[in-house]
Structure 1
Amino acid sequence: MGTKALLIIDMINPYDHEDAEQLVTSAERTVPVIAGLLRSARATGAPVIYANDNFGNWRSHHGEIVEAAMAGARPDLVEPLRPDEESLFVVKARHSIFYETPLPYLLRTLGADHLVLSGQVTEQCVLYSALDAHIRHMGLTIPHDAVAHIHPDLAQAALRMMERNMGAQVRAAEDVAF
């Protein structure tokens, strides 16, 4: 078995988009859980990779994305998850963390063959990223309490799909080891 990597999807967010109000309630519960996963991954030396939307700003880099999120509506949801100097950062433009990003190359370079997916949105970016990881024959763990949703019913269905159809280990974050 290779390396297990923690992926933090779209949590560097200004929360000023159309469905932000629905998402914030779930994100408030999720942020402390992801922060715990982040501490565990860092303590064991597991790779931490942020895969984040650039919100259509094609001139941005990860520092600018973090700055914009910290200046946004909910910096309290961003601060506990800020990337440190060791964190890796992949900018994405669409739902999947794999779609036209350098992530596959980065994962091969790290020897990572198992992904712990955390972040938002369960029924969108997390689900599509899990499918793309599955078709690449990567192991998957989805901590159900470390993914935020907009629609609870769709999120539950997405978690079931990831477990049943993609072989993901869906479990509580406290049961995830790096």
Structure 2
Amino acid sequence: MSDTAVLVIDMMNTYQHPDADLLIPNVADIVDPLTELITRARDRDDVDLIYVNDNYGDFTAQPSDLVQSALEGERPDLVKPVAPQADYRFVSKVRHSAFYASPLDYLLGRLSTQRVILTGQVTEQCILYSALDAYIRHFDVIVPRDAVAHIDAELGEAALRMMESNMGARLANACDCLD
């Protein structure tokens, strides 16, 4: 148990959706810093690593199914470096927020989490809504700018500013999040 959890949000993606062409280059930009952050989190006993992913409406899908589908999708090169390894925590979500209709809040409570580091995609959607839900649950929120991907650059920047000013989120680089 620790007081910090790194949430890897929606990175198990097949990139077979209408916004994929806009999202892919931005995900490509975050893969290296996110991979390094995941590696650092895995190597530390004082950080919990939790994958949170949309189930895309398939309520029979197991976490391994979502990971496998993503690895077999259009861009496995964006998935493989950040894919979960054995003995990982995985929470399925059904909408934009990692907290909505998921057991994440309960899990974080059991882990005694005080601070969440939100990574993944999409900055102006799932990251923003997860940040709001974390904030109203009194978690400290950190968002590494170089480990979240946007579809629309303007909206992504606006979302980061909202998280910082309205939710007290700390914006940082991925390499500085666990210091």
Query: Do they superpose with TM above 0.5?
Result: yes
TM-score w.r.t. the length of structure 1 is 0.97
Unaligned runs of 5+ in 1: none
Contact conserved, 1:54 with 1:60, CA < 8 A, in 2? yes
Map 1:25-36; keep pairs closer than 5 Å: 25-36=25-36
> Is 1:153 paired with 2:154?
yes
Contact 1:54 1:93 in 2 (8 A): yes
For structure 2, list consecutive stretches of 5 or more residues without a partner in the other structure.
none
> Which residue of 2 is the match for residue 16 of structure 1?
16
> Which ranges of 4 or more aligned residues in structure 1 deviate by more than 3 Å?
none
State the alpha-carbon separation in 1 of the partners of residues 48 and 99 from structure 2: 17
State the Cα distance separating 1:86 from its structure 2 match.
3.1
How far did 1:84 drift? Answer: 1.4
Identity rate of aligned residues, in percent? 47
**Alpha-carbon separation, structure 2, partners of 1:86 and 1:133:** 25
Structure 1 equivalent of residue 64 of structure 2:
63
Matched, 1:128 2:135: no
Structure 2 match to 1:98: 99
Aligned with 2:13: secondary structure?
A: coil
CA RMSD of aligned residues (A): 0.9
- Could you tell me how far apart the structure 2 residues matched to 1:164 and 1:149 are? 19
Checking the alignment, whether the CA contact within 8 Å between 1:69 and 1:78 is kept in structure 2 is: yes
Structure 1 counterpart of 2:82: 81
- How far apart in 1 are the matches of 2:177 and 2:99? 23
Per-residue CA distance 1:82-115 (angstroms, 9 max, x = gap): 1112320000110000001000110011111100
Q: Are 1:47 and 1:87, in contact at CA under 8 Å, matched by a contact in 2?
A: no
User: Structure 1 residues 37-46 or 4-13, which shifts more?
Assistant: 37-46
| TM-score with structure 2 setting the length | 0.96
Task: Indicate whether 1:107 and 2:108 are aligned.
Answer: yes
Between stretches 84-93 and 134-143, larger displacement belongs to 84-93
